[in-house]
Amino acid sequence: MTTTDGLRANAASGGNGANRIDDAGHQPAGHQQPIRLEPYLFAEPPAQPLISLRVERRDTVVQVTLLGPGKGNALGPDFWRELPKVFAALDADDTVRAVVLTGSGKHFSYGLDLTTLTELADIAGDDDGGLARFRTDFLHKVRSMQDSLDAVAHSRKAVVAAVSGWCVGGGVDLLAACDVRYASAEALFSIREVKVGVVADLGSLQRLPAIIGDGHLRELALTGKDIDAARAERIGLVNDVLPDQASALAAAHAFADDVAANPPLVTQGIKDVLDTARAAAVEAGLRYVGAWNAAFLHSHDLTEAMAAFAQRRPPRFTGR
């Protein structure tokens, strides 16, 4: 990856300690100030400007910010197309040591964009009488979305998330693909898919057992309940809770700086070794849930969930 000469010079000189504690044990002012970022320069610029993501860097740390659509950074078609391309570029760039992932505005992500969910439901339509074609198309679509989040999980660079506001459904899937997670005190989390008649199929059910344990995951996935940042910290979903959004982002950058100061091949090796033990189980789980939803997602209960959401009423599920 090419960068500006100034950024190369900063990286070469190890200029990544803006958020460190000084010798007297005091936190530098940079921790309390907005983090200064510059646009990230791609070696091969995207064919069209990014829509769903903003990519910026400070020295050897890159920040990727979710941009929407909408105030809740819903994960729409542009996101699923752009995320793997961005992370492939960052993974190939030896001047990048760590990645900070965060949301624009007050929220991390409201989860899957309803347009995408509607498209998935349309794929699982009745045009061919429920035969193999629509199920195959649906499976390919789900696997493509799984691959997008795999680009984060499989990144050789350490990926740390800074979460504020809502982190729902697909937002939790994205969070689970990160190495480390920090949250602001007002953050809220929910594995919400069960509420809309869907088995979560983008990574939460596969990656969270190693993060929060089986019992906590079953509680959240089976109820679709919301939990606050304090509970998320207690169960290990987030590493730490900070007072506000700026502090959470600063903590994420401080972690990224610490990683960036270490030997890059060693940090990549640590990730590789840690991921090896669970990689096969995660992959098998993702393939199975994709096939399960291809077979069973299209139901009267899914249609009822969408209608209830549109009409702002409680759904009436019948198990059909």
Could you state, in order of their start, the residue ranges of all structural domains in the chain?
38-311
Give the CATH class of 38-311.
alpha beta
pLDDT reported for residue 121? 60
- Nearest CA to 100 out of 218, 259, 207 is that of 259
Helix axes 114-123, 300-311, angle to 10 degrees: 150
The pLDDT-based confidence of 127 (bands split at 50, 70, 90) is low
Residue of higher predicted confidence among 4 and 207: 207
Interacting residues of 126 by C-beta distance below 8 A, sequence separation 6+: none
What does the pLDDT average to over 181-192?
A: 98
What does the pLDDT average to over 286-311?
A: 89
What does the pLDDT average to over 194-211?
A: 96
**pLDDT tens digit string along 87-121?**
999 999 999 999 999 999 999 999 998 766 666 66
pLDDT reported for residue 289? 97
**Over 60: is that where the pLDDT of 149 sits?**
yes
**Over 50: is that where the pLDDT of 16 sits?**
no
pLDDT reported for residue 21? 35
| 299 dihedral zone (left: phi>0; alpha: psi -120 to 50; beta) | beta
**Over 50: is that where the pLDDT of 206 sits?**
yes
**pLDDT tens digit string along 209-266?**
999 999 999 999 999 999 999 999 999 999 999 999 999 999 999 999 999 999 999 9
**Over 90: is that where the pLDDT of 284 sits?**
yes
pLDDT reported for residue 310? 82
**pLDDT tens digit string along 31-89?**
456 789 999 999 999 989 999 999 999 999 999 999 987 789 999 999 999 999 999 99
**Over 70: is that where the pLDDT of 24 sits?**
no
What's the chain's average pLDDT? 87
Lowest-confidence pick of 130-139, 168-177, 220-229: 130-139
Peptide bond into 209 cis (omega under 30): no
Interacting residues of 79 by C-beta distance below 8 A, sequence separation 6+: 52, 53, 66, 113, 148
The pLDDT-based confidence of 19 (bands split at 50, 70, 90) is very low
Percent above pLDDT 70 for the chain: 84
Interacting residues of 303 by C-beta distance below 8 A, sequence separation 6+: 121
Residue of higher predicted confidence among 137 and 54: 54
pLDDT reported for residue 4? 32
Using CA atoms, how far apart are residues 152 and 236, in angstroms rounded to an integer?
20
**Over 90: is that where the pLDDT of 272 sits?**
yes
What does the pLDDT average to over 178-187?
A: 98
pLDDT reported for residue 203? 97
Residue of higher predicted confidence among 299 and 147: 147
What does the pLDDT average to over 148-159?
A: 98
**Over 70: is that where the pLDDT of 25 sits?**
no
What does the pLDDT average to over 7-25?
A: 35
pLDDT reported for residue 119? 66
Rg of the chain over Cα atoms, rounded to whole angstroms, equals 20
- Residue whose pair of structure tokens reads 């982002």 in the numeric block: 249
- Residue 207 one-letter amino acid: R
